[in-house]
Amino acid sequence: MTVTGPVAADQLGVVLPHEHVFIDLVSEYRGSGLLNDEHLARQELRALRAAGGSTLVDLTLDEIGRDPAALRRAGEASGVSIIMGCGHYRDPYLDRGWFDRTAVDAIADELVRDITEGARGTNVRAGIIGEIGADRGYISAAEERSFRAAARAHARTGLTISTHAARWPVGIPQLQLLAEEGVDPRRVIVGHTDSVPIPGYHLALVRQGCYVSFDSIGTGSPYDTDRAVDYVLELVRAGFGAQILLSQDVCLRDHLKATGGPGYAYVLTDFLPRLIAAGLDPEQAQSFVTDNPRNALTGAGG
């Protein structure tokens, strides 16, 4: 399900599974943390289209400015199929009092409504659950409710769950919590894996069957991008190439092409060629942005 209606799985084409078109991170990034320029968004998305990209997963949630109507306009104007997320982000963005007062099933009901009817008073439907976040190396009380609600919404709708697991190896307890609620790890994308500098962690995740999202490609430092090449090659060598996803997590104004940043097409124009130059089979490299994200979104394959 995209913001402009259903798209057949075989029509998804080249997919970026973790991005943001409009977002408000001003509380953390005063200067660069607001993406709200629709003209600029269209321009950036058209550059993605020109580079061969066809589908973008926007994981912006209500705590950080999700705008379903603007996403639909951006999708219509750019020709990029945009898949919208739903659910709750992470501490400290969460309204903890609301989580204290609201039962897990009631939280799940809201996600299911976003998925089956539409979000924020529109008929724009979510096509993925996420990014469901844990802010630090543990899952907080409010975050635990959010994860359980995501799991129950998944059970009711079949949609994939995508998580925010940055810096610390918190993807492991996330998978464990979701499994407690009956979620098969193969229906989970653990996010920001490249921000956790522990290759053994990446391996432990894929061994459980989930997808790992190396999604700060080009938006981090050159060192981080170099390391991401190593991380990808290590998983390929270990035989887990079918569980690798790549994205840029564009979420700041500095990340956009117009401001000198990598933009939405960096994975396609720069990173895949680097992987191939490092010895990766070109067909396998292409599968990281085609077969793998399609399977991750639909639950097919693996």
Footprint on this chain of Zn ion (rule: CB under 5 A): 249
Q: Are 124 and 3 in contact (CB under 8 A)?
A: yes
Nearer Cβ to Zn ion (114/215): 215
Distance CA 262, CA 108 (A): 36
Main-chain dihedrals φ then ψ at residue 34, nearest 5 degrees: -125, 120
Cα within 13 Å of Cα(181), Cβ side: 26
Chain residue at closest Cβ approach to Zn ion: 249
Angle at alpha carbon of residue 36, lines to 31 and 37, rounded to 5°: 105
Main-chain dihedrals φ then ψ at residue 273, nearest 5 degrees: -60, -35
Supply the minimum distance, in Å, between the C-beta of residue 100 and Zn ion. Answer: 26
Supply the minimum distance, in Å, between the C-beta of residue 201 and Zn ion. Answer: 19
Supply the minimum distance, in Å, between the C-beta of residue 234 and Zn ion. Answer: 23
Nearer Cβ to Zn ion (114/249): 249
Distance CA 246, CA 239 (A): 17
DSSP result, 137-196: SS--HHHHHHHHHHHHHHHHH---EEEEE-SS-THHHHHHHHHHTT--GGGEEE--GGGS
Nearer Cβ to Zn ion (194/249): 249
Nearer Cβ to Zn ion (16/47): 16
Structure tokens at 184: 């098969």
Nearer Cβ to Zn ion (219/280): 219
Nearer Cβ to Zn ion (62/249): 249
Supply the minimum distance, in Å, between the C-beta of residue 213 and Zn ion. Answer: 9
Supply the minimum distance, in Å, between the C-beta of residue 108 and Zn ion. Answer: 22
Supply the minimum distance, in Å, between the C-beta of residue 255 and Zn ion. Answer: 11
Nearer Cβ to Zn ion (140/163): 163
Cα within 13 Å of Cα(18), Cβ side: 31
Supply the minimum distance, in Å, between the C-beta of residue 18 and Zn ion. Answer: 5
Alpha helices in the chain (DSSP H): 38-50, 68-78, 96-101, 104-116, 141-157, 171-180, 199-207, 222-237, 266, 272-277, 282-287, 291-298
